[in-house]
Amino acid sequence: MSHQSDLIASDILAYLKSQEEKGLLRFITCGSVDDGKSTLIGRLLWDSKLIFEDQLASLEVDSKRVGTQGEDIDYALLLDGLQAEREQGITIDVAYRFFSTDKRKFIVADTPGHEQYTRNMVTGASTAGVAVILIDARKGVLTQTRRHSYLASLVGISNVVVAINKMDLVDYSSDRYEEIRAEYEAFAEQLEFESITCIPLSALKGDNVIAHSEQTPWYQGQTLMAYLENVNVTDNAMGQPFRMPVQWGVRPDLDFRGFAGTIASGSVRPGDEVVVPGSGQKSRVKRIVTMDGDLEEAVAGQAVNLTLEDEIDVSRGDILADPLARPAHADQFEARLVWMHEDALLPGRSYLLKSGATVVPAQVSALKHRVNVNTLEHQAAKTLELNEIGVCNLALGKSISFDPYRENRGTGNFVLIDRLTNATVGAGMIDFALRRATNIHWQALDVDKRSRAGLKNQKPGVLWFTGLSGAGKSTIANLVEKKLLSLGKHTYLLDGDNVRHGLNRDLGFTDADRVENIRRVAETARLFVDAGMIVLVSFISPFKSERRMAREMLEEGEFLEIHVNTSLDVCEQRDPKGLYKKARSGQLLNFTGVDSVYEAPENPELVVDAGKVSAEDIAEQIVREVLGDDAVWNVPDGTER
């Protein structure tokens, strides 16, 4: 590397020690397309002599081959490493670079400018302490400038550098600089930045990057490098109450029981009292164990193993916390959510929420509004598309411990995961627990499901009929109910069309409405099962996720999925309500099987084809499956065998 300390040759251990003791600053560069983000970082590395010799040689060759600066060095190529980035001259993915100066170590994230890569920008900004927002002096404050400023504020960055770049293309005009500075600061008043520093520069020419430029005698402020070396980024984690999410319990032998994790905030010493917020159990720290021996104190950012004086119940996903400043513990909260997947968010759909080491089922129970990140306007919305941001309420399968993100990044963030594909689909920041989550509790009742079912001499459960429109679901379900009723069984049939006349009359046929339709029906079916009933549900229910959600609401063996697998051709030939004809002519949108997907069951309990077998015979088959000699629901004495 061109930039070297004299200690490397004379005292390598002293050099390594000096590097270890330097502070670390994480920062991002962001802004609109072609504002010069990659060029700026490349210039920082070049002028600081922080590039390896082989990189220099490669850069010179690449600049002539694929560069955009003619015979001159194209500094952006130090960051734009993907082939697609070099071909198009844009940044697509987040590029990270480590470098250091005599005063500080740095990790810089070069984030994309295009709107479709917003999720990449959020990823890069999530751990940064400073945002360098570039503005092309010719173009001024653009939509993406506003977008990235809002996103930086959203993830908690409080220090911003507004790098007004390409000043060489406006003749280093102080009037143009002042115009842009005033416009940006007026916009940023709506955001929550602690400091905003504007610097006029030319990344290509090096003006005000490392050294002050003679071209801007009217500017008396810091250079960009001087700012980065001296900016005071407060580590809020150190000043927050103690929090340590437990990654796992360590039990190598009978004499040792510890709890491993990385301290998210605060500090801890042996003898300090800690609490598990979920259970309220308290103990004191006995030892702080590491691979290098026991510590007298551990602080935020350190990975440690805590042993406690008492044998309290602590599991993976729990948080050890300061008992005098406990985190919230609830199963509902409001959050800001960045949607990061091509498939839209569907409120009511069951996802997995991962916060720290905790993974729980979760639903977006209400999408309160979508944020237009270009204007900061709040807009009504039923769903979120890729890269959109909204404010929503989430309902979890069980309570978790957390802090508001503004107070504690480490315990206030989460991701949403698709339960079928395991893909990360969203990233969120918790605002606060919902009051009703702490005011509503389960009321203990003396008469339970077993008592109600015993009185009816039957095992309750759900027969869930799914298939295309016209497959014969309702006809078969109706015949099954009649046969069960003749055998003295207590039943109720929930039919898709009938329910939409009342309970779900406010819902349409978008994907989001279909999800909510099935969620309500599944909740209703669960109540009927709790009443001891056999419930027949006849709905298209096109999505696997919602059918899985309905199954998981019930106990093992209470949910039987029946796929009425009649072919689309047969369903269209039948077309009992004329819906296929309307859909094919464009009069009916979002019709399952035509322009809306049907996800066939993968492992249903029963598959029948009403195109090949009569509805009467299918109904007989289902009743035999449910109440035959070996069927799990054949419980003549009202008790489960």
Give the Cβ contact number of residue 143 at 10 Å: 12
- Indicate which residues carry an active-site annotation: 541
Print burial letters for 293-315: b (CB count within 10 Å at least 16), e (below 16): eebeebbbebebbbbbeeebebe
Is residue 629 classed exposed, middle or buried when 0-12, 13-18 and 19+ CB atoms within 10 A define those classes? exposed
Apex CA 289: angle with CA 283 and CA 290, to 5°? 150
Apex CA 217: angle with CA 216 and CA 218, to 5°? 90
Q: Residue 386 — left, alpha, or beta (φ > 0 → left; ψ -120 to 50 → alpha)? A: beta
Rounded CA separation 8/10 (Å): 6
DSSP-derived letter for residue 115 is G
Reference 151, options 118, 179, 175; nearest CA is: 118
Give the Cβ contact number of residue 381 at 10 Å: 18
CA neighbours within 13 Å on the CB side: how many for 539? Answer: 32
Query: Which contiguous run of DSSP H or E holds residue 146?
Result: helix 143-154
Rounded CA separation 508/511 (Å): 9
CA distances from 599 to 420, 468, 593 (A): 12, 10, 10
